[in-house]
Amino acid sequence: MLDGYGGKHIDRHDLRRMRDAGCAVHFHRPLHTARVSVWNFRDHRRVLVCDETVAFTGGAGVDEAWTGDGHHPGSWRDTAFRVEGPAVAGLRSPFVQAWMQARVCLPGRLVSGLDRFPELGRAGNTAVQVLRTPSQPGWNEAAIAVSALLRSARDHVAITTPYMRLPRWLRLLLQDAAGRGVRIQVLTGGPHVERRAVHLQGELDFQPLLDSGVEIWRYQPSLMHAKVITVDGVVAMVGTANVDTRSFALNDQVCLLLDDPAVTALLDQHFADDLTRSRRVDPEEWRGRGLRRRAVEVAADVVGRPLRGWGAVGLAGRRP
């Protein structure tokens, strides 16, 4: 299942080879539709389910960019998760939902004998909640979860995200948490980015965050693509959602809420390792950036507003 926009660059020869070999390949929400209202609602989920018992999710896609170590240009830095147990059913369901939407008007059965729906027993000690965030009016479950996590934080929040286009309510929550004495560290993209205009839009929020004590770090070796939030060394939110308006109000996403100090500690160690390869944004240096740079940021923000729902106000309300 490929998103109609995200998968449009797939090599047609590869697509034909897969179908000739017996693979069923469909595009979710194809762009060539008269339903203008769905053009901007894209499927950003990444899920791989094997034999209905093991699942993978996270930021990683299927492309050569994810085959390296994340420490060199052209090799993206990402984090993915292998899941067993009952949560596999939660990761399978968003695929099934999109698959049935794509197949409903086509001949053939939606469910066959190949679909076994096995019973999934406990496989470990991590409590997992699967968030299957859809494109719909209103802030989705990912936005509500981030809001709850930031309101409950008491000591430390570590956020890794490629993009930082913040709705106003999220910027205020980060500033409020920092004002309560919570150490907020945000790791985002540095010199290696995929969509420069998107990063420029997010930079408008840097100064108020920096002034409130939020630490902003920029990953230097390659493109940072991981999506991880940890809170107080106890819980984590991971998956496909970036910390931006598109992820919280427009795109289909899938996320995992993990309640396990051991897993969270590992993610925090990854974060600390990434900071050794990152550069911290200095508040005073940032304040002194030139007028031309500021004008470019504002222009990028204005141009990008229609694609991200004009800050989602009207589409989703002012806060979750």
Block means of pLDDT (10 residues each) for the chain, 320 residues, are 87 94 88 69 91 95 91 95 96 87 72 82 94 81 94 98 89 96 97 87 91 97 97 97 87 95 98 98 94 90 71 56
What whole-number distance in Å separates Cα of residue 120 and Cα of residue 277? 40
What whole-number distance in Å separates Cα of residue 60 and Cα of residue 47? 9
Give the full edge-to-edge strand order of the sheet including 54-58.
47-50, 54-58, 80-84
CA dihedral 235, 239, 240, 242 (to 10 degrees): 20
What whole-number distance in Å separates Cα of residue 217 and Cα of residue 280? 4
Distances (CA, A) of 264 to 57, 172, 234, 236: 16, 25, 6, 6
Query: Quick count: other Cβ atoms within 10 Å of Cβ 224?
Result: 28
Q: How many CA atoms lie within 13 A of 147 on its CB side?
A: 14
Handedness of CA 264, 270, 272, 278 (dihedral sign): negative
Looking at residue 76, its pLDDT comes to 96
| Superfamily of the domain at 66-84+122-312 | Endonuclease Chain A (3.30.870.10)
pTM of the model: 0.92
What whole-number distance in Å separates Cα of residue 192 and Cα of residue 263? 28
* Domain spans of the chain, in order of start: 66-84+122-312
What whole-number distance in Å separates Cα of residue 188 and Cα of residue 228? 11
Residue whose token pair is 């630490």 = 215
What does the block give as tokens for 35? Answer: 């339903």
What whole-number distance in Å separates Cα of residue 295 and Cα of residue 299? 6
N- to C-terminal Cα separation, the chain: 30
User: Dihedrals φ, ψ of 216, to 5°?
Assistant: -120, 125
* DSSP state at residue 82: E
Instruction: Return the amino acid letter for 97.
Output: Q
Identify the CA nearest to 163 among candidates 257, 226, 95. 226
